[in-house]
A and B are shown apart, each in its own frame.
Chain A
Amino acid sequence: MIKQIVFITATILSFGILGYSLLRIYSFLKLTKSHKSGPLGKRISKTLFVALFQTKILRRPVIGVLHALVFWGFIVILFGSLEIIIDGFTGIEKSLSSLGFVYHVISISGDVFSWIILIAICVFFVRRVFLSVKRFEGIEMKRRSHSDANFALSLIFILMVTLIWMNILSSAMNLEEGKLLYPINALFGQFFTSLDHTILLRAYEINWWTHIGVIFLFMNILPYSKHFHVFMSVPNVFFSRTEPLGKLPNMDNITKEVKLMMDPNLAFAAPTEPVSEIERFGVKDVEDVTWKNYMDSLACTQCGRCTASCPANITGKMLSPRKIMIDLRARMKEKAPHILKEGKGYNDNKSLLRDYITTEELWACTTCNACAQECPVNINHPEMIVFMRRFLVMEESAAPTGLNVMFTNIENNGAPWPFSPEDRLLWANDLTTN
């Protein structure tokens, strides 16, 4: 009974704190602009492929398979965690066993995956600590990024060790049932059958409490860690655009202005709608981004596949697509609480553009979409880059000289180079064929 009360209190507390953290992030999200995600059917099939079948992470096959196994293992083991919570609330043991065959399949898979995840986590750890993987480095990768990663790996390690011990000890206490539900750990469990039942039960409970305790701890650290991607990656894929990568979102407020400019009749007609607040063109700071841009930054786990494929980064330029996401999240964390407290007019004389992301980074992008193509959770970095270029060009006329010349050429001659439209057919002169 005491166990139940302690457990229920701990659970409510943990979910309460998690709820608070998530609501806070949601209130940040509400400061941003709208985003169109596209038709539902397409988004569901995309989520199935990219998230569930891990198609993009498998573009790097070796490490990709390991990640996919951990992901699939987590889904299976999530059922186990759900059972632990129900058990803890009701005081019943193995409360979901009434599911029969399904329960057997889940238990057996969970048993197998506990070892697969443990091994994978060890590989990840060795890789991070002892092999120098180039994409884990970069100007944006601070000490904190690395300790964040190692801490999360350690927690998952403890989760798996305690789960494995729970299955071993459970098998030791009831070998017949253990062999059915935990075929791998029952192999170890048979060595402990001779031990006193109370000792086994005590050991089992220690592991049980450690396991659920670490789960509660982990889920409350996630919203403040780069490992928030555990929660955000599937929704992020679901809300990502379904159109080809080459498409950029249209600026409807510009369309209105351009149509006015091009049709003089419209310009002198009485305004049909009230003059709305003048919107800023492009992105200067966090409140100018779409909620999906911000979600992208929350779903980023800093794996660096984007930066490793970026032609500008490969050739030593400042640009790192991963940094764009890290900066966006950090700036939101810095500014949003003040906007919420002091209102939209809050100004700290800093902005995402320039104070976090320099113009040198933005102008180095070739919009080749390699970063977006690689991102396992469908983050769209080029969109953010173009949004910030829009601010630089249309609000500040701060484009590099070469681009300003190109703009002027298009305005005057309808071509990015200084050639007369009158000469547009010269290429076809004296064209003959056999």
Chain B
Amino acid sequence: MNIEIPVMADVTAKGQQPEFLFWVGCAGAFDDRYKKVSRAFTKILHHLNVNYAVLGKEETCTGDPARRAGNEMLYQMQALTNISTFTRYNVKKIITICPHCYNIFKNDYPDLGGHYEVINYTQFLQTYIENGTLKITSDKFADKSITFHDPCYLGRANGEYAAPRKVLEAIPSTKVEMKRNKSFALCCGAGGGQMFKEAEKGNKEVFIERTEDALETGANIIATSCPFCMVMLTDGLKYKNKEEEIFNYDIAELIVMAMGW
């Protein structure tokens, strides 16, 4: 079955008002690996009959990487542009996959007049799992063990440790925690603009340190819920020559694989 992605401009031109804006994010739109995550989550939205739309060509960077790197001017230009787009389409609820987009919409946009109900996709999925709409009975991962890497901007930055774990809990499989988890979790090394620059001199890369935490659990699958974490941990697995035995998937991908969608 073909999925047509509803685009905000087209939907509103027909006089309809989508309930949610699905914010795809730059990584979701452009990163080859992460595009698969956007596709997976879209399949879930489709199967759950969610009334949503994306901005498509009207989407532009939230300004988060610029802001954390100190470029407040550029951040505010991006933010005010986005806020005026949201106002034009009367956006009230935003779903994001990327926790950096989630954080900046939720915590920083209100200071510039952008007030929205911002929902991270793990929280969104948690609701559907808890009300029974999304049931995963497949035993595709029954013999696998999964470890979850907390993204800083969902975890420490916003205190959301439960939602991703609740979602993973719904997938029949073994779950193992890394020694540093939840509020104690170690960063993947890509936040605060690090994704876009060379690391400073040190004796180790942060992503290798974190990959070692994940490998220590003996899990077959590293579950992530952030585009930057995915780049880092996937690289870490390659660095450790483990990419043939241990896999890094996003939570949305795990659901889609389990459901056979």
A binds B: yes
Q: Enumerate chain A interface residues (CB-CB to B < 8 A).
A: 59, 243-251, 254-255, 257-259, 261-262, 281-282, 309, 311-312, 314-319, 360, 363-370, 372-373, 382, 386, 388-394, 399-403, 405-407, 410-411, 414-417, 419, 421-428, 431-434
Say yes or no: A364 contacts B200, CB within 8 Å: yes
Say yes or no: A317 contacts B61, CB within 8 Å: no
Say yes or no: A424 contacts B192, CB within 8 Å: no
Say yes or no: A245 contacts B2, CB within 8 Å: no
* A318 cross-chain contacts in B, Cβ below 8 A: 200-201
Say yes or no: B60 contacts A246, CB within 8 Å: no
Most-contacted residue by chain A among B59, B108, B153, B187 (CB, 10 A): B187
Say yes or no: B74 contacts A365, CB within 8 Å: no
Say yes or no: B261 contacts A433, CB within 8 Å: yes
Provide a sorted-by-A list of 7 A–B residue pairs whose CB atoms are within 8 angstroms: A319-B200, A364-B199, A367-B191, A368-B192, A370-B186, A390-B71, A399-B69
* B67 cross-chain contacts in A, Cβ below 8 A: 248, 386
For the complex formed, measure the closest distance between the CB of A230 and the CB atoms of chain B, giving whole angstroms.
27
Most-contacted residue by chain B among A312, A421, A431 (CB, 10 A): A431
Given contacts A367-B152, A370-B187, 11 further A-B contacts (CB under 8 A): A247-B107, A247-B108, A254-B76, A366-B206, A401-B197, A403-B193, A419-B26, A424-B59, A427-B29, A431-B43, A432-B3
- Known A312-B206, A317-B201; judge A262-B157 contact (CB<8 A): no
Say yes or no: B200 contacts A414, CB within 8 Å: no
Q: Map CB proximity to A onto B147-178 as digits: 1 under 8 Å, 0 otherwise.
A: 00000110011110000000000000000000
Q: Does B230 contact A (CB under 8 A)?
A: no
Closest 7 A-B residue pairs measured CB to CB? Answer: A246-B157, A389-B70, A402-B197, A414-B60, A367-B192, A316-B203, A368-B187
* A248 cross-chain contacts in B, Cβ below 8 A: 67-68, 107-108
Q: Map CB proximity to A onto B65-104 as digits: 1 under 8 Å, 0 otherwise.
A: 1111111111011101100000000000000000000010
Q: Which residue of A lies closest to B196 (CB)?
A: A406
Complex CA distance for A292 and B56, rounded to whole angstroms: 42
Q: Which residue of B lies closest to A281 (CB)?
A: B72
Contact pick for A403, options B47, B77, B196, CB 8 Å? B196
- Known A250-B111, A432-B1; judge A366-B191 contact (CB<8 A): yes
Q: Does B205 contact A (CB under 8 A)?
A: yes
Complex CA distance for A426 and B59, rounded to whole angstroms: 13
* B29 cross-chain contacts in A, Cβ below 8 A: 415, 419, 423-427
- Known A316-B203, A414-B61; judge A366-B189 contact (CB<8 A): yes
For the complex formed, measure the closest distance between the CB of A352 and the CB atoms of chain B, giving whole angstroms.
15
For the complex formed, measure the closest distance between the CB of B109 and the CB atoms of chain A, giving whole angstroms.
10
- Known A315-B204, A373-B183; judge A394-B193 contact (CB<8 A): no
Which one of B13-21, B34-42, B126-134 is at the A interface? Answer: B34-42
Contact pick for B39, options A282, A423, A431, CB 8 Å? A431
Within 8 A of A (CB), among B1-56: 1-3, 5, 7, 24, 26, 28-31, 35, 38-39, 42-43, 46-47, 54, 56
Q: Does B236 contact A (CB under 8 A)?
A: no
Complex CA distance for A320 and B70, rounded to whole angstroms: 19
* B108 cross-chain contacts in A, Cβ below 8 A: 247-248, 250
Contact pick for B61, options A281, A360, A416, CB 8 Å? A416
For the complex formed, measure the closest distance between the CB of A24 and the CB atoms of chain B, giving whole angstroms.
33
Say yes or no: B35 contacts A427, CB within 8 Å: yes
Q: Does B235 contact A (CB under 8 A)?
A: no
* A368 cross-chain contacts in B, Cβ below 8 A: 152, 156, 187, 191-192
For the complex formed, measure the closest distance between the CB of B35 and the CB atoms of chain A, giving whole angstroms.
4
For the complex formed, measure the closest distance between the CB of A189 and the CB atoms of chain B, giving whole angstroms.
47
Say yes or no: B107 contacts A255, CB within 8 Å: no
Within 8 A of A (CB), among B241-256: none
Q: Which residue of B lies closest to A430 (CB)?
A: B2
- Known A250-B108, A367-B68; judge A434-B1 contact (CB<8 A): yes
Say yes or no: A422 contacts B57, CB within 8 Å: yes
* B184 cross-chain contacts in A, Cβ below 8 A: 59, 309
* B69 cross-chain contacts in A, Cβ below 8 A: 389, 393, 399, 403, 406-407
Q: Does B190 contact A (CB under 8 A)?
A: yes
Most-contacted residue by chain A among B2, B73, B200 (CB, 10 A): B200
Say yes or no: B2 contacts A432, CB within 8 Å: yes
Complex CA distance for A59 and B205, rounded to whole angstroms: 26
Say yes or no: A428 contacts B186, CB within 8 Å: no
Say yes or no: A402 contacts B198, CB within 8 Å: yes
Complex CA distance for A261 and B73, rounded to whole angstroms: 11
* B205 cross-chain contacts in A, Cβ below 8 A: 315
* B107 cross-chain contacts in A, Cβ below 8 A: 243-244, 246-248
* A312 cross-chain contacts in B, Cβ below 8 A: 200, 202, 206
- Known A255-B76, A311-B206; judge A246-B196 contact (CB<8 A): no
Say yes or no: B30 contacts A423, CB within 8 Å: yes
Complex CA distance for A255 and B114, rounded to whole angstroms: 13
* B186 cross-chain contacts in A, Cβ below 8 A: 311, 314, 370
For the complex formed, measure the closest distance between the CB of B73 and the CB atoms of chain A, giving whole angstroms.
6
- Known A393-B70, A427-B38; judge A316-B204 contact (CB<8 A): yes
Q: Does B194 contact A (CB under 8 A)?
A: yes
Complex CA distance for A421 and B74, rounded to whole angstroms: 17
Complex CA distance for A231 and B225, rounded to whole angstroms: 42
Say yes or no: A369 contacts B152, CB within 8 Å: yes
Say yes or no: B158 contacts A244, CB within 8 Å: yes
* B159 cross-chain contacts in A, Cβ below 8 A: 244
Say yes or no: B78 contacts A262, CB within 8 Å: no
Say yes or no: B73 contacts A394, CB within 8 Å: yes
* A369 cross-chain contacts in B, Cβ below 8 A: 152, 156-157
- Known A257-B73, A394-B70, A415-B30; judge A433-B47 contact (CB<8 A): yes
* A247 cross-chain contacts in B, Cβ below 8 A: 103, 107-108
Say yes or no: B74 contacts A407, CB within 8 Å: yes
For the complex formed, measure the closest distance between the CB of B212 and the CB atoms of chain A, giving whole angstroms.
11
Say yes or no: A427 contacts B28, CB within 8 Å: yes
Say yes or no: A390 contacts B72, CB within 8 Å: yes
- Known A246-B157, A258-B80; judge A314-B70 contact (CB<8 A): no
Q: Which residue of A lies closest to B197 (CB)?
A: A402
Complex CA distance for A336 and B100, rounded to whole angstroms: 38
